[in-house]
Structure 1
């Protein structure tokens, strides 16, 4: 098991079906960095509660809103035009690199926030993914269940 969040995410994201599930959940408005952090916390056996969920959201929300989403929007906006303009395609790839670095930075911030959260003493921890989906106003959909299944088999 990878003990740091970034390497855990790289390992998990490389598994079959994870990228597709994450992109679909992202298109539904979910924060994939938060979901991957939740998977990491679940794997580590860390108990979740409303306070911790709020801390995660408070850490992620401004960075997503002010840094990651504007980069993603710009990259997506340039998709079609970049297919016909080599210079724009190069710039688009640079924006994509910045977007990935911004996501990595958020994951490092989330890891720093949660590093002291030790595995729980309860016999059963809550389902981090379901709780984050609930707080985001999203149903526990098939895609989220597929992501959960892939995590459990990682």
Structure 2
């Protein structure tokens, strides 16, 4: 398993079915970076509790709302125009790079908070359901795809 969250996230995301599962969960309202962090914590057997879940969500929400989502929205708005306009296509790729860097920054911040949390065999390690919120009940199969993919890292 990759020790840092960024490498872990890249490893997991590259596995078959993960991108589709993440997009389904994102469409249902889950934050993919938060879910990847949850998988990382599950793989490390870190106990999941409400204060930790609240802390990770509180760290994620403002960055996602103020930085990641506006970049993603602009990138998606330019998708059709980029097909016929090379300049827009190039700018869209730059925005995509910024979006990825914003996600990397978020993962780094999540890791910074969680990396000292120790293994606790007595506690629950089901981070995904707690971090996915309502998206979990709609996409249990997508969560399972993520869990299976993470076991191969």
**Taking structure 2 as the reference length, what is the TM-score of the superposition?**
0.93
Tell me how far apart the structure 1 counterparts of residues 148 and 71 of structure 2 sit (CA, whole Å): 30
Gap regions ≥5 residues in structure 1: none
Aligned partner of residue 134 in structure 2, secondary structure: coil
Tell me how far apart the structure 1 counterparts of residues 86 and 47 of structure 2 sit (CA, whole Å): 49
What is the match of residue 125 of structure 2?
Answer: 126
Tell me how far apart the structure 1 counterparts of residues 121 and 141 of structure 2 sit (CA, whole Å): 30
What is the match of residue 150 of structure 1?
Answer: 149
**How far is 1:28 from its partner?**
1.5
Tell me how far apart the structure 1 counterparts of residues 15 and 141 of structure 2 sit (CA, whole Å): 17
- The structure whose RCO (Cα within 8 Å, separation 6+) is larger is 2
* 2:72 paired with 1:75: no
Equivalent residues, number:
151
Note the aligned Cα RMSD (angstroms).
Answer: 1.3
Tell me how far apart the structure 1 counterparts of residues 48 and 110 of structure 2 sit (CA, whole Å): 14
**How far is 1:149 from its partner?**
2.3
Gap regions ≥5 residues in structure 2: none
What is the match of residue 10 of structure 1?
Answer: 10
**Taking structure 1 as the reference length, what is the TM-score of the superposition?**
0.93
